Amino acid sequence: MVRHLLFCFIALIAQFVVAQAPTVADTPFDKEHITDATVLKRALAAIKKGDVLADHGGMDQPGAMAAYQEAADLNPNSAELNRKMGLCMLNGPDPAAALPWLRRSVELDPTAPRVHYLLGYALQMNAEWDQAVAEYKLNAEAQRLDPDPDATYNKTDKRIAECNTGNSLMAKPVNAVVTNMGPGVNSSSNDYGPLSSPDGTLYFTSRRANATGGKVNKATNTWFEDIYTCQPFNGGATPPIPMPQPVNSTLNDATVALSADGNQLILYRDKANGGDLYSSVRTGEEWSEPLPFSATVNSLAQESSAWLTADGAWLYFASNREGGVGGSDIYRSPWNAEAKTWGTAENLGPVVNTAYDEDGICLSADGLTLWFGSQGNGSMGGYDLFKTSLVNGVWSTPQNLGWPINSPGDDQFLVMDPAGKRGWFSSLRINGYGQDDIYQVDLMPEDAAPETALLASAGGGTGRDLTEEQVKLVAFIKGIKPMTALEARVELLDLDDPLFSRTMVLDPASGTWSSNVKPGKNYVVHVSVEGYLPHNETVVPDRKADKLELELNLNPVMNGSREVLGSILFEPNGSTLEPASTGELDRLATFLNGAPTLRLEIGGHTDSQSTAEHNQRLSEARAQAVMEYLTMRGVAEDRLSVKGYGSSEPVAPNDTPDHMRLNRRTEIKVL
């Protein structure tokens, strides 16, 4: 299913807006403002390279930003360059990260074309609703004076309505826990369309580099879609594997729905007509060749999603065929048992469908509740998730599932368990692992205590407890460039709860990450930054402090670099890994699987309490246990070496319990 791009790189036209005095003068890349010819030539070449790569989008977006950053290092005060960087980020995997560049662009030149709309959208993606509305209104005034040929920039009324909806829903969050499925499921690519089978297997769609056939979509510059499976467990998952042929093919193959017994898979394939629905049936462990649905379902238009009722009597599906209410609509077809085919499709009508797109369908076991994604119906931005009920043959007015389930970005493809209490969906929100991620949502009873609910930020996993005392944890990463810092992912883990994972929120202005935490608990701050080894810091917030500041020192990926695995724990005087170790080890496995040429030494260290011989054996056994865990997570054994150091390399005197705890450690070293 090809996602619609919100913005396109086309020629800009002049327009005028209410002037705002810039704090720093705009410095264009020309001979008048940059007198060093060599510097100017380098900068213009970098910008030209960035423009070409940004125009490609998709997999070239990081390269475009790197090229633009090269020019920005030479001159950070160009309004046009900051706008280009912001626009590039809006078209990339993390639109919310565009905010600092677009703010800077407006400061330097508030009269530039379209820049207020772009800044408004970046603010909206960060859930800064009121500021976004103010920028959209400035854009609307500019469009009134000089309408833009691109209709996107003339439709600020819908954006303002979305912001007002977001503001209202955020003020009254629903009682729900939203959890990112983590690096065991999600990747730096698009991951979406989750389906959960009765045996617990998770099926989902991903655009990973190992796509069947190895093809790249020319329109989006992303890998073709494939269907993957994995087994989630204890906050992690077995390594996702692509389904074999014939389910996956050299075309785009995407998850759509599973039958109630898990033996029929409905999938999307773009073989003809812009994309159709197919069905594959499992017999034993084998899946059949996917066959297209009948012509009453598939049409000359695109059919992108569907759901089969538990009794098999109806097929609900989304189609952008002619004659609908607008865009992609939801239809349903009855099963004709006599003819053994699907009957004539009927549109669900204007109560459910809107002038915008509806997609991603799920029905309750009794067929009376429909969950779906919509760009209309009162969305707070992009697709939001809604539900409607069938009462006396009539569908009720769709209800927005609310904050924090919905966010300013796209929230789609929700599927619920038979009890209607737990679901899985895909979302594009701040601090994901890359582009769309898969999240789990647990709906709490309306009368449940507020502290049982995790109130996700616009970005997802960050939450706050509403009743217990809190400490604000603030983290700062030393020694990396602002561009690199924005690409960092800072997570908070709980050593006492392997299922706990929270993404800390970045403040672009201060360059710090923060989260509210409970005092007295054992937390691990995990940092992932491209080009650096994964880093962990263990913290125990003090009840006497309102704020705990943490300075993080990262080590680059280069020969000899070392990093302590701070939350790897073993049974006392043994080599069996404690459950709290799985979070960090799963993240290390993800890091290594994404860097297939990297080789590491795993080093075990002990304190000096026992004999040298015992400590040597214990350190070797513990390092070996870590290696075995990583190989079970898909890391090739020949990339890892094991070494026991015993008590020979202490980092502190073995004179106190705290010092001895520092010496009992597991380290990795780049070979």
pLDDT digits 0-9 by tens, 202-260: 999 999 987 888 888 888 899 999 999 998 876 678 889 999 999 999 999 999 999 99
- pLDDT bucket at 670, cuts 50 / 70 / 90: very high
Within its chain, how far is the Cα of 591 from the centroid? 16
* Residue 501 confidence (pLDDT): 66
- pLDDT bucket at 94, cuts 50 / 70 / 90: confident
* Residue 546 confidence (pLDDT): 76
Give the residue-averaged pLDDT of 364-374. 95
- Asked if residue 246 has a cis previous peptide bond (ω within 30° of 0), the answer is yes
Q: From the CB of residue 337, how many other CB atoms can be counted at a distance below 10 Å?
A: 9
d(CA 44, CA 538) in angstroms, rounded, equals: 45
- pLDDT bucket at 395, cuts 50 / 70 / 90: very high
* Residue 226 confidence (pLDDT): 96
Is the pLDDT at 599 greater than 80? The verdict is: yes
Can you name the CATH fold of 37-171? 1.25.40
* Residue 626 confidence (pLDDT): 93
d(CA 66, CA 47) in angstroms, rounded, equals: 10
CA dihedral in degrees (241, 244, 248, 249; nearest 10)?
Answer: 130
- pLDDT bucket at 453, cuts 50 / 70 / 90: very low
pTM: 0.73
* Residue 486 confidence (pLDDT): 59
151 touches 408 (CB < 8 A) = no
- pLDDT bucket at 473, cuts 50 / 70 / 90: confident
Is the pLDDT at 21 greater than 70? The verdict is: no
- pLDDT bucket at 448, cuts 50 / 70 / 90: low
In the chain, where are the structural domains located?
Answer: 37-171, 176-452, 468-554, 561-671
Q: Does domain 176-452 have CATH number 2.115.10.20?
A: yes
- Asked if residue 404 has a cis previous peptide bond (ω within 30° of 0), the answer is yes
Can you name the CATH fold of 468-554? Immunoglobulin-like (2.60.40)
* Residue 285 confidence (pLDDT): 87
In 3D space, the residue among 372, 472, 391, 485 whose CA is nearest the CA of residue 97 turns out to be 485
Q: What is the DSSP string of 597-649?
A: T--EEEEEE--SSS-HHHHHHHHHHHHHHHHHHHHHTT--GGGEEEEE-TTSS
The answer to whether domain 37-171 and domain 561-671 are alike in fold is no
Work out the burial of residue 33: count CB atoms within 10 Å of its CB; fewer than 13 is exposed, 13-18 middle, 19 or more buried.
Answer: middle
Is the pLDDT at 487 greater than 50? The verdict is: yes
Q: Which residue has the tokens 């709290």?
A: 580
Is the pLDDT at 668 greater than 80? The verdict is: yes
Higher-pLDDT residue of 517 and 360 is 360
d(CA 344, CA 341) in angstroms, rounded, equals: 10
pLDDT tens, 106-118?
A: 999 999 999 999 9
Give the bridge partners for 223, in sequence order: 216
What is the CATH superfamily name and number for domain 561-671? Answer: OmpA-like domain (3.30.1330.60)
- 3-class state of residue 79 by DSSP: helix
Enter the tokens of residue 186: 């999600």
* Residue 484 confidence (pLDDT): 61
In 3D space, the residue among 306, 278, 304 whose CA is nearest the CA of residue 290 turns out to be 278
* Residue 569 confidence (pLDDT): 84
156 touches 117 (CB < 8 A) = yes
- The angle that helices 61-74 and 37-56 make with each other, rounded to 10 degrees, is 160
- 3-class state of residue 196 by DSSP: strand
Structure letter (DSSP) for residue 164: H
Give the bridge partners for 229, in sequence order: 203, 241
CA dihedral in degrees (508, 512, 514, 520; nearest 10)?
Answer: 180
Interacting residues of 583 by C-beta distance below 8 A, sequence separation 6+: 235, 236, 493, 498, 501, 524, 526, 567
d(CA 526, CA 290) in angstroms, rounded, equals: 42
